Amino acid sequence: MGTALTPNETEVLALLRGANGPMTAYQLLGRMQRKGGAVAPPTVYRALKGLEEAGVVQRIETLRAWAVVTSPVPGVVAICDYCGSVRSVEAPSLFESLHQRLAAEGFAEARQTIEVHGRCGDCTGGRA
Amino acid sequence: MGTALTPNETEVLALLRGANGPMTAYQLLGRMQRKGGAVAPPTVYRALKGLEEAGVVQRIETLRAWAVVTSPVPGVVAICDYCGSVRSVEAPSLFESLHQRLAAEGFAEARQTIEVHGRCGDCTGGRA
DNA sequence: CAGATATACGTTATAGTATTACATAGCACA
DNA sequence: TGTGCTATGTAATACTATAACGTATATCTG
């Protein structure tokens, strides 16, 4: 199946798993430098590319940051602008509707990005 | 209603309208420099910010580029990776489903980004 | 009118994100 | 042994975006 991860990919993935949210490439770079000495941007970007192709991380486009994929199926990324939390919400029927809608236009999609900014339940319940 | 556009905003909007697709901020900058002499990045970014707030342009996140808003209502941005075309596809019921789905999670959305990469009808019909 | 405020813009510098290009090292295996 | 492949290192650069500060102009208002 998926080829095994390389050492660098493993390290980046571990860092992302240990974080409680997305990290930018340069945050990852900083962590790796504090551990391992001379690490340069291509090391991080190559690892991210590999992990993305393996389907285990994804770029959160609107944050220019990277996060572990938490759901087996593509989801809606819900980003709270108040507390910064990022959740992936599964919505298979939504993606199916999207597929249908695009098919009706003759468009064959290969990759969907759905990101939503707003306020999460925790931040809505409490004060502003 | 919407305040009038500033001269810089007007110029940037005209450039985007004249293009047949999204332009990056630095492409806009280059055009403005060839016309007007010394123009710096903040000039472009300020104009884009104003236009975005006015709802007449939007950033295409997955392209890191900017495009004129073509539909009165938020749409699905369909990007053909073969010919580079970018279209906004209206899908009100899709956005309504998205709203419902997020509301069920307690999430109140303020801004949605839906971008899809794939192959458009023109590129599907013909050869690879 | 003087002074206060607000908007738009100019200018310089810098921050933040990502890629290109080329070198090297190790492994697999004919 | 040598050939090719994968992963990595390394240096430089490209691309995207913002911060911080200054200036000009308009408008309001006492």
The domains located in chain B, with CATH, are 7-68 (1.10.10.10), 75-125 (3.30.1490.190)
User: pLDDT class for B2, splitting at 50, 70, 90?
Assistant: low
Question: Residue at minimal CA–C1' distance from D18?
Answer: B42
Rounded to whole angstroms, the Cα distance separating A33 from A22 reads 18
Q: Does residue B125 surpass a pLDDT of 80? A: no
pLDDT of residue B1: 47
Burial of residue B3, with CB atoms counted within 10 A of its CB: 0-12 exposed, 13-18 middle, 19 or more buried: exposed
B118: closest CA among B81, B93, B90, B86? B81
Task: Tell me the shortest Cα–Cα distance from B10 to chain A, in angstroms.
Answer: 26
Are the beta carbons of B116 and A102 separated by less than 8 Å? Answer: yes
Enumerate residues near strand C (beta carbon within 7 A).
Answer: A 24-27, 40-42, 45, 49, 59, 64-65; B 3, 6-9, 38-43, 46-47, 50
Nearest-CA neighbor of A99 among B72, B20, B101, B118?
Answer: B118
What's the length of chain B? Answer: 128
As a whole-number percent, the residues of chain B with pLDDT over 90 amount to 90
Angle at A89 between CA A1 and CA A45, to 5 degrees: 50
pLDDT, mean of each 10-residue run, chain A (128 residues):
85 97 98 92 98 97 98 96 95 97 96 97 74
Task: Name the average pLDDT for chain B.
Answer: 94
Cβ contact, residue pair A118, B98, below 8 Å? no
For tokens 């975005």, name the residue. B52
- Tell me: the pLDDT tens digits for B44-80? 999 999 999 999 999 999 999 999 999 999 999 999 9
Facing residues of A77 across strands?
Answer: A88, A115
Q: How far is residue B8's CA from residue B32's CA, in Å, rounded to a whole number?
A: 10
